[in-house]
Homo-oligomer: A and B are copies of this chain.
Amino acid sequence: MDLTIVGSGVVGRSVADLASDYGHRVTAMADSSSAAVDPDGLDVAAVLDRKEAEGAVGTADPEAALEADYDVLVEATPTTLGDAQPGFGHVKAALERDRHVVLANKGPVAERYADVMALAAESDGEVRFEATVGGAIPVLSTIEDYGPGKISAARGILNGTANFILSRMAAEGLGYEHVLAEAQDLGVAEADPSFDVEGTDAALKCVIVANVLSQGAREYTLDDAIVEGIEDIPPSALELAQEDGRTIRLIGEVSGGEVRVGPRLVPRDSDLAPDGTRNIVQLETENAGRLNVSGRGAGGPETATAVLADVGRLE
C-alpha cells in the first residue's frame, strides 16, 4: 500500500524506515513545516537524512502530504487534547477522500471518538489505532478478535515511564525526584514528564479502550477518567508495601462503565508488577477468563510495528 506519513517524530520516522520491509511505499511525508512527496515512492533514507541535517523532511508545504496520492494516512503527529487538532483534521481529510487512516496519535480517538466513527461510517476508508494503546502489544486487535462485547474489564500498566520510576523506587529505596532524574538521564522520562507521571498518558489509553469496549453505547473522553499520578508517593509507602509482599504501581482500569488511573497496591509477584518500562494489559473475558498481553509499550520501532500491523489488517 502507499502511505502518507503525517508527523515526523520518532514514530513517524520509524514507520517510514520500516515501511518497505512490510512491502509498502511511502508516497508522502510531512512534519510541522514541510512535506516531501513522490507518487513513485520517496527515497526514505534521503528524506530521513534531510530531516536530521536540516530539520525538515522536504520543501513542499505540509498540506501537500494530504493532497498526495495514497492509500493510507499514518497520523503520527503529537497527541493533543480537547479538539484533538490538527490530528483530527488530518483524519477528516483522509476519510473524506475515502482513504484509510492508521493512528499513532491518541487525540482523535480519546477526545473525539464519536466524531471519528461518524466520519468513518460515511467513508470507504477504515480507521485503525492499535498503536495508540500499548505500542507493540496487541491490545486492540485482541479485543477486536475476541469481541468487544464479550470483555467485561481491561486493566493494566500502560505507561512505561511511571512504571520504571515506581519499580526503581521500590528496588532501590530512593525518592521520587532522584529516580525521575535517573529516568530522564536514561531517556525514559521526558524533560517535562507531566504527561507520564500525572497519569494523563495512561488515562488517554484507557479512554480509548473504554470507547472500543463501549461499542458506541457511550463516548468517553479524558474528562471522564478519574486520574491520580505518582508524584506524591513517598519511599516509605513502598517500604511498607514491601513488608507485606506487595508493591505500588500505576494501574489503569476500564470496568463497570468507569475509567480510573491511579497508584495501587499489588502483590509483588503479580502480573501487574512488571519491572522497568514494560507494559501489560489484562482482559477479563466472558468465556475464557483472563487474557494477558505484555511487552514494550513505547518506542519508535515498537510503535511502528503496531502501525504496520494495522496497515496489514486493512489489506
**Which residues of A are at the interface with B, using a C-beta cutoff of 8 A?**
18, 21-22, 135-138, 141-142, 145-147, 150, 269, 271, 280, 285, 287-296, 299, 301-302, 304-305, 308-309, 312-313
**Per a CB cutoff under 8 Å, which of B146, B147, B294, B301 touches A291?**
B294
Contact in complex: B295, A295 (CB < 8 Å)? no
- Cα A183 to Cα B285 in complex, Å, equals 25
Q: A136-B285, A142-B142 are in contact. List 16 more A-B contacts (CB 8 A).
A: A22-B147, A136-B289, A138-B146, A145-B313, A147-B309, A150-B305, A280-B292, A288-B295, A288-B299, A288-B301, A288-B302, A289-B295, A290-B296, A291-B295, A292-B293, A292-B294
Residues on B with C-beta less than 8 A from A138 are 138, 141-142, 145-146, 291, 293
Residue of B nearest to A145 (CB): B309
CA distance A260 to B9 in the complex (A): 42
**Secondary structure type dominating chain A contacts:** mixed
Instruction: For A22, list chain B residues within 8 Å (CB).
Output: 147
Does A293 lie within 8 Å of B291, measured CB to CB? yes
Contact of B305 with A296 in the complex, beta carbons under 8 Å: no
A145, A305, A309: residue with the most chain B Cβ atoms closer than 10 Å: A145
Copies of this chain: 2
Cβ contacts A to B, 24 pairs, < 8 Å: A21-B150, A135-B288, A136-B285, A136-B287, A138-B142, A138-B291, A138-B293, A141-B141, A142-B142, A142-B293, A145-B309, A145-B312, A146-B309, A147-B308, A150-B305, A287-B302, A287-B305, A288-B296, A288-B299, A288-B301, A289-B296, A290-B296, A291-B295, A292-B294
Q: Closest B residue to A130 by CB, please name it.
A: B145
A309 CB to nearest B CB, Å: 4
Q: Roughly how many angstroms separate A280 CA and B271 CA in the complex, as a whole number?
A: 12
Closest to A283 in B: B295
Q: Which residues of B contact A292 (CB under 8 A)?
A: 280, 292-295
Docked complex Cα distance between A312 and B142 (Å) = 12
Of all chain B residues, the one with the shortest Cβ separation from A313 is B145
Contact A291 B141 (CB under 8 A): no
The 5 closest A-B pairs by CB, nearest first: A136-B288, A287-B301, A291-B295, A145-B309, A288-B302
